[in-house]
Amino acid sequence: MSAIEQRIKELKEEVKTLMFPTNHLAEKLTLIDDLHRLGIYYHFEDEIREAIRGINDHFDDDINDIRLVALRFRLLRQEGYAVSPGVFSKFKDSEGKFKQELRYDVEGLIQLYEASMLRTNDEPILKEAMDFARGHMERMKGEEPHTAQIRRALEIPFHRGMRRLEARLYIPVYAKSKACNTILLELAKLDFNHLQSIHRAEIQSFSVWWKEMDLMNNLAFSRDRVAECYFWSLGVWFEPQYSTQRLLIAKLLQLLTVIDDIYDAYGTIEELQPFTAIFERWNFQDVDSLPEYMRIFLNVFAGFMTEIEEELRKKGTLHHKHWIIESFKPLVRAYFQEAVWINTGHKPTFKEYLNVSLMTAAHHMLTSVSLCLMEEYLSKDTLDWLLTEPKIVKACCMLSRLMDDLASSEFEQQRMHLESSLQICMRDEGITEQEAVAKLNEMIENAWKDINNECLNPLPSRKQLNLLVLNFVRVIEVIYYKHEDSYTNPEGHMKDNISILLLCPIED
């Protein structure tokens, strides 16, 4: 054990023995929130789970501090407890509006806004809370000492933020706050830098693998997105015990990028038909009829699948391979359908488009593969259920597809490409671009509400799936931040995010 690891161990014990035993509600809620925001919560999952259970079991409805009520609401929902939004009714006046004196409570407004992000369908009070808090926060975002917190919450609320990135951005803010706890701060800094060294070694290994595959010299039309793919997988799992899964998903994402480019930008229908059939039969040897570039790619893909099989064999879950294969087949069918539409000039309706494009968002396949790599005790019922496109996965695909389309619509139309949901919505419904954008944004918000609803009172067998979906969606929020496709065009904020997560340690 290195000196850094030893110090991290000592600090963890201090948190467990000195801080968790408190019976003071405000202290306990603040501690749990700080652990999450600082990115060190994964060290204390049992303690947090027990503390949240106690807070829920001894629910006190007489608390009149909006900050505490909102924070408690968010943390309980975050852990899957279906606490009622009625807890906020006490903060309304006789006219049914949020009391105006709340606008002076900056911390209360921030927590109220963050809590509103966990709303589900048919919870109008949380929509009112969001609008009320956001309106006042917009006016105060230049005021110290809460400027950084307000601006970050308005950009990407914590519930929707990628956990590693949120921690990296919050640690220096926390260091300057009056409520800073030196034990937590030291632990957060050491832990972030320690994990960063692990992540840096992993991306170097990934980069070496990709260069050895030499696909860019043989498939020059495709995108090289090694750093972005690793960033994506890091958003799903950052914990050290998931190193193997992280690397396999990063590799899968890069190979999926090549598949997408083959269907979307290079392959002809005559080539794509037998290419799709190869995946349908799952036989990567019978490729003689394919052009050379496809044979080269499929050889690399077959080697990658051997890596997947080896990992499953080590875990004693080789039977999961069946469900991984089955999750690929509808994806390539959907890719092929889009290619047919492009080449025949078919203009699908909005409903037709979504039926196919939600599958090409690829998150159904990605969550299936991720879950099979992560979990050892998945029942056949759970795996079969996953193949039925459950509501939470469909919501993830909806969110990904619509945010992608809003971000890349203009770029995609510069080449031969299927119309995006934006163009199809405008054409199908006879509405303006502004109206179509508003409609798609509403659908994105509804998808978030569906995800939030599915995460309440989850079955034990589905809790890990819910977390995977949440983390995939959080990465999507970052990649398509402000309607910018930073995966296709990685300069800008994607480059900055990769830099602070993988290149720049936190200084003392």
pLDDT tens track of the chain, all 508 residues?
Answer: 899 999 999 999 999 999 999 889 999 999 999 999 999 999 999 999 999 999 999 888 889 999 999 999 999 999 999 999 999 999 999 999 999 999 999 999 999 999 999 999 999 999 999 999 999 999 998 878 889 999 999 999 999 999 999 999 999 999 999 999 999 999 999 999 999 999 999 999 999 999 999 999 989 888 999 999 999 999 999 999 999 999 999 999 999 999 999 999 899 999 999 999 999 999 998 899 999 999 999 999 999 999 999 999 999 999 999 999 999 999 999 999 999 999 999 999 999 999 999 999 999 999 999 999 998 888 888 889 888 889 999 999 999 999 999 987 554 444 456 899 999 999 999 999 999 999 999 999 999 999 999 999 888 878 889 999 999 999 999 999 876 776 777 677 889 999 999 999 998 7
**d(C-alpha 135, C-alpha 109), whole Å:** 10
* Residues in Cβ contact with 236 at an 8 Å cutoff, skipping those fewer than 6 apart: 246, 249, 370, 468, 471, 472, 475
Matching fold, domains 3-180 and 345-482? no
pLDDT of residue 231: 97
Q: Exposed, middle or buried by CB within 10 Å (0-12, 13-18, 19+), for 23? A: exposed
Domain residue extents for the chain: 3-180, 195-316, 345-482
| CA atoms of 337 and 332, how far apart (whole Å) | 9
CATH fold of 3-180: Glycosyltransferase (1.50.10)
pLDDT value, residue 411: 47
Helix axes 243-261, 226-236, angle to 10 degrees: 130
Question: Domain 195-316, what fold?
Answer: Farnesyl Diphosphate Synthase (1.10.600)
Contacts of 395 (CB under 8 A, 6+ apart): 447, 448, 450, 451, 454, 469
User: What length is written for the chain?
Assistant: 508
Query: In CATH, what is the architecture of 345-482?
Result: Orthogonal Bundle (1.10)
Separation of alpha carbons 469 and 474, rounded Å: 9
Closest listed residue to residue 353, CA positions, set 336, 337, 329, 364: 337
Between CA 417 and CA 248 the distance in angstroms is: 30
Q: How far is CA 176 from CA 12, 34, 83, 156, in A?
A: 22, 14, 33, 21
Asked if 34 and 166 touch (Cβ cutoff 8 Å), the reply is no
Say what the pTM is: 0.94
pLDDT at 413: 47
